[in-house]
Structure formats: C-alpha cells, structure tokens
C-alpha cells in the first residue's frame, strides 16, 4: 500500500505543480473575467466525468470484482475488464452525441453572447468525456495489478498541453481571450488521445490486451453495474458540491448583461455576487484540491486494492487494520495542511495569481473562498478513504445515501449562506457537508466492522495537533522575521521550515504514521477484534 502511495504521490506532485502553473497562466491571460467564467463552466462537465470515472465510480466498481475474478479465472477477469471498457466507450459516445445536439439547440435559442460562449466551449470539449472515461477504466485495471505510474502520470499531459496552448495563443499569436479558450479546448481533446496511447504498453506488460468485448450478461459484469450507479454519487459528493457552488455562483452573479439586480414576485433583489465569482471559486478550489489530490486521493487510490484484497479474503482483522492506517495517515496530512493553508492563503493567492488580468480585488475574493474551503480538508480526506471501504465490501448503497444527504444540505446552505458570506458562504457549505458525510459513513462502518478500526485514533489526533501547533509557531515566526521582504522569499523559506519542524516534532513524538509514510514500515499495532 505504502509503496504504491509514494509512487502515486510523486507523480501527482508533478501533475499538481504543473496544474498550478496552468492556473497561473489562466489567471495571467484571462483573470477572473466573464470569459474565464465561461471556460470554468464549460470544462466542468468533462472534468466532472473524469473525476467520477477516473477517481471514482467506474474504476472503483470494477476493481473489487476484477480482483475476485483474477483469483478465480484470469481469462474471465480480462474479458470482464474489456467488456467494461467497451461498454463505457459506447455508452458515453451515445451521451456525447445527444449532448452535442442539446448544446446546439440551446445555442440557436440563446441570444446572450456569454451564454453562447459557454455552449460552444461545452460542445467542443464534450468528446473528451469518451476518451478520459475509457482511460479511467484502463487505469483501474492497471491499479489492480499494482501498476500506478501510467494512471497517475496521465493528468500531467493535460496540464502540459493546456499551458502550451495558452502561452502559444497569448504570446506567440497574441489572439484575444475568446480565441485562447478555444485553443485550450483543442488541447483538451488532444489530451484524451495521448492519455489513451500512454496506457497501452503497461497493459500489455501486465498481460492485458485491448480487444473489444461485449460479455454484458456475465454475473461479474452485472455486479459491476450494480455497484457503479450508487458509487457515482457516493464518491463524487465533493465534486458535485463544488459544481453546485459554481452554478449557484453563476446564477446569483450580476453582470453587464444581467444587471445589478433581479425581480422576484415584484421585489427588487440585488445580486449577492458579481461577474468573476465563478472564476474566484475555481482558483480557490484548485488551491485546496492541491493537497487533496496529492495526498488524499493518492492515499485512497493506493489503499483501495489492499482493502479489496482484504475483503475478498473476508479478513476483517486485516481490513480493520488497513482502514485504521488509512484514516490516521489522512489526519497526519490533512490537519497540518488545513492550518498551513489558512495561515498563508492570502500571500499564496497573491503570489500565484495576482498579475496580468488577475487584480488585487480578485485576490481578496479568492482568498476569502479558500479560507472556508480548506476548513473541510480533513473531511475530504476521510471521505475518500471511508467510501472505498464500503466499495471494497461491495456495499455501495451507504456512501450513495450519505452523499445524497450531503448534496441536498449543501444546496440549501449555499442558497442561505451566499447572501451573508458571498463566495465564502458557498465554500463553507461544501466544507460543512464533507463532515456530515464522514459522520454518517463512520457511524455505519462502526456497526459493520466494530469499533476496532478507530483503535489509536484519539492518540493520533492529539499527537498530530501537537506537532501542528509547533509547525504553526515556526511558520508564523519565519513569516514575521521576513515581513519586510518579498512574498516569494517569505513563502519559500517559511513553508519548508514549517514542514521540517512538523516532521521533526512528529519524529520526537513517535508518531507511527511518519515512519509508515516515509519508510514504509508497517505498524506493529494490531487492531483488536470487536
């Protein structure tokens, strides 16, 4: 588990760093403008499909069933994998064709230039869904064979091609913003083909050959389908909530086209947000998702095959140990990440984005939203681990129901808090709902596995908080000492110093997760039977 986790983390760090550079390029050329709002909304649909399938439902429903089939019959397992890939390809092709027709019908009916831009961009990027979701299935197959490199490296391609497209359009061609986003859309489509080709050699090395299959009547494939539906909602709660944040921000944002207010039942109501709010939320989401993507999803991806193997053997003792380690690892990372991001949110946003078309006012709005998003980091981390425990047990209904509750509560909170906190209210809603979902999952899992998986959790939390406080002191001290120097120098010295302090204190406190993550040493503690 830990070897795979470290491999995924390294590749994910590269991807996320490139992703941050990509966002800086977007901020430089497009800022937090109406055109950027259009790109964010249009890219959300294929990007959500990537998260659903790449980090969620398709691969997560396939891995437990595929693992069991591998233990019984390798040929049947490979036929199941190719059937899943073929069905996803065909199904999404049909969806994309229907989506394209709907997009162009709406385009013909709309007379708003901003709306038309969003529709055209959406239509241009819809085919990416077919490729990225097929790639996700292939990535799930590779993960089952404990081959994590190609799936983890795939996002690097997207970030590189988007950076090249934007810089080429903005600096070489000097085209306007509306043209730049279409160059970016072309880069997204090219990415899908490149990612597909990347997965073929490692699949062959694992003995899996790409051949279309249609064994949809098999019991194994039916189990995958039964798991997949609820998994789509269960794993995607955070993504759906952030999507809801953005659409509500778009709906409740004034603009030159919409005006400063709207009429409701004869009452004049001023818009709580203004054009660019969607973009500010996007930049904030990208920052809080950095540690989530690097560590949270990487940990969940690495732990899932182990959980599936434990469940396939019906080894509940090993399963409880794996869950316990996963949760303690998530806390060890998420708690200091939360505190650190809250403390350095303002200088980080300013340093990364405040140049070109991105103004100081955009920095204020982005920072405010980020401060609320990061408060939910521990919830986002734990959610990734806990949902996969249920999927390893092939019990997808509980995560789906908990996610449904979280999404409904988030929409209600969004529509309430946005009037008081603006973008911050939308972010706060998502953070609150992450803990609601975790609470539901842990309550049910306690009844399913017994309290053993919580063994050592209290001690781990106290130790992590103690190390985090020391980290906070070091971070603030270095930032204060360098207050008369540039932000870049402050962050480049304060963040590494704080990280070293955290690791040192963790070592002095004998926090077992430090040795497990860095050295691969398995903990000697055994989770007690219930």
According to the model, what pLDDT value does residue 4 have? 56
The reply to whether 181 and 296 lie within a common domain is no
Task: Using pLDDT thresholds of 50, 70 and 90, give the confidence band for residue 521.
Answer: very low
Question: Could you tell me the residue range of the domain that residue 307 belongs to?
Answer: 236-454
The reply to whether 400 and 261 lie within a common domain is yes
DSSP letter (8 states) at residue 212? -
The domain total for the chain is 2
Full-model pTM: 0.81
The reply to whether 216 and 308 lie within a common domain is no
Contact 382, 237 (CB under 8 A): no
The reply to whether 260 and 302 lie within a common domain is yes
According to the model, what pLDDT value does residue 48 have? 76
According to the model, what pLDDT value does residue 240 have? 82
Task: Using pLDDT thresholds of 50, 70 and 90, give the confidence band for residue 56.
Answer: low
According to the model, what pLDDT value does residue 153 have? 84
Task: Using pLDDT thresholds of 50, 70 and 90, give the confidence band for residue 529.
Answer: very low
Contact 385, 437 (CB under 8 A): no
Round to whole Å and give the CA distance between 387 and 59: 13
pLDDT above 70 for 201: yes
Residue at 242 is within a domain: yes
Round to whole Å and give the CA distance between 171 and 158: 20
Residue at 308 is within a domain: yes
According to the model, what pLDDT value does residue 525 have? 41
Average pLDDT, the chain: 87
Convert the pLDDT of each residue in 145-181 to its tens digit: 878 788 888 889 999 999 999 999 999 999 999 899 9
Question: Quick one: what percent of the chain has pLDDT higher than 70?
Answer: 92
Higher per-residue confidence, 474 vs 519? 474
Question: What's the rounded mean pLDDT across residues 259-265?
Answer: 82
Task: Using pLDDT thresholds of 50, 70 and 90, give the confidence band for residue 391.
Answer: confident
Contact 273, 420 (CB under 8 A): no
The reply to whether 108 and 9 lie within a common domain is yes
Q: Give the burial string for 8-46 (b: 16+ CB within 10 Å, else e).
A: bbbbbbbbbebbbebbbbbbbbbbbbbbbbbbbbbbbbb
Convert the pLDDT of each residue in 112-143 to its tens digit: 888 899 899 999 999 998 998 888 889 888 88
Residue at 528 is within a domain: no
Question: What's the rounded mean pLDDT across residues 469-487?
Answer: 95
CA-derived radius of gyration, the chain: 23
Contact 527, 321 (CB under 8 A): yes
CA-wise closest residue to 118 among 32, 41, 26, 36 = 41
pLDDT above 60 for 520: no
Q: Give the burial string for 277-293 (b: 16+ CB within 10 Å, else e).
A: bbbbbbbbbbbbbbbbb
Convert the pLDDT of each residue in 77-112 to its tens digit: 999 999 989 998 998 899 999 999 999 999 999 888
Task: Using pLDDT thresholds of 50, 70 and 90, give the confidence band for residue 233.
Answer: low
The reply to whether 351 and 216 lie within a common domain is no
């Amino acid at each position: 588990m830990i070897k795979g986790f470290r491999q995924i983390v390294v590749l994910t760090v590269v991807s996320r760093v490139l992703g941050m550079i990509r966002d800086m390029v977007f901020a430089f050329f497009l800022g937090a403008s109406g055109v950027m709002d259009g790109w964010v909304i249009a890219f959300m649909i294929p990007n959500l499909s990537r998260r659903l399938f790449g980090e969620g439902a398709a691969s997560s429903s396939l891995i437990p069933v595929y693992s069991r089939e591998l233990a019984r019959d390798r040929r049947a397992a490979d036929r199941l994998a190719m059937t899943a890939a073929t069905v996803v390809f065909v199904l999404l092709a049909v969806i994309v064709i229907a989506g394209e027709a709907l997009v162009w019908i709406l385009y013909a009916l709309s007379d708003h230039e901003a709306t038309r831009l969003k529709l055209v961009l959406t239509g241009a990027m819809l085919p990416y869904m077919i490729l990225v979701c097929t790639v996700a299935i292939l990535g799930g197959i590779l993960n089952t064979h404990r081959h994590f490199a190609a799936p983890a490296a795939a996002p690097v391609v997207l970030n590189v091609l988007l950076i090249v497209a934007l810089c080429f359009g903005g600096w070489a061609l000097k085209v306007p913003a509306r043209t730049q986003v279409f160059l970016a859309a072309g880069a997204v489509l090219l990415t899908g083909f490149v990612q597909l080709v990347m997965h073929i050699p490692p699949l062959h090395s694992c003995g899996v050959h790409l051949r279309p299959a249609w064994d949809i009547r098999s019991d194994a494939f039916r189990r995958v389908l039964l798991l997949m539906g609820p998994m789509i909602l269960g794993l995607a709660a955070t993504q759906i909530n952030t999507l809801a944040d953005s659409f509500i921000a778009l709906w409740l944002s004034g603009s030159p086209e919409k005006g400063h207010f709207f009429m409701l039942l004869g009452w004049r109501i001023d818009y709580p947000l203004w054009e660019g709010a969607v973009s500010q939320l996007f930049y904030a989401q990208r920052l809080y998702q950095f540690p989530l993507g690097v560590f949270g999803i990487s940990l969940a991806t690495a732990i899932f095959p182990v959980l599936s193997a434990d469940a396939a053997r019906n080894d509940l003792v090993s399963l409880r140990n794996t869950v316990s380690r996963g949760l303690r690892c998530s806390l060890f990372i998420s708690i200091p990440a939360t505190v650190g991001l809250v403390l350095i949110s303002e200088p980080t946003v300013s340093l990364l984005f405040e140049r070109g078309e991105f103004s100081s006012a955009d920095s204020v709005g982005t920072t405010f939203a980020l401060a609320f998003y990061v408060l939910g980091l521990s919830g986002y981390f734990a959610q990734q681990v806990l949902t996969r425990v249920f999927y390893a047990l092939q019990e997808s209904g509980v995560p789906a129901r908990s996610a449904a509750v979280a999404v409904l509560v988030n929409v209600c909170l969004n529509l309430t808090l946005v009037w008081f906190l603006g973008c911050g209210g939308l972010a706060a809603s998502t953070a609150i709902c992450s803990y609601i979902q975790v609470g539901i999952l842990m309550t049910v899992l306690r009844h399913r596995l017994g309290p053993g998986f919580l063994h050592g959790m209290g001690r781990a939390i106290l130790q992590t908080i103690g190390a985090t406080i020391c980290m906070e002191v070091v971070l603030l001290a270095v930032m204060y000492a360098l207050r008369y120097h540039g932000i870049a120098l402050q962050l480049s010295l304060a963040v590494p110093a704080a990280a070293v302090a955290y690791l040192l204190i963790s070592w002095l406190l004998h926090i077992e997760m430090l040795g497990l993550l860095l050295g691969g040493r398995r903990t000697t503690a055994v989770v007690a039977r219930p």
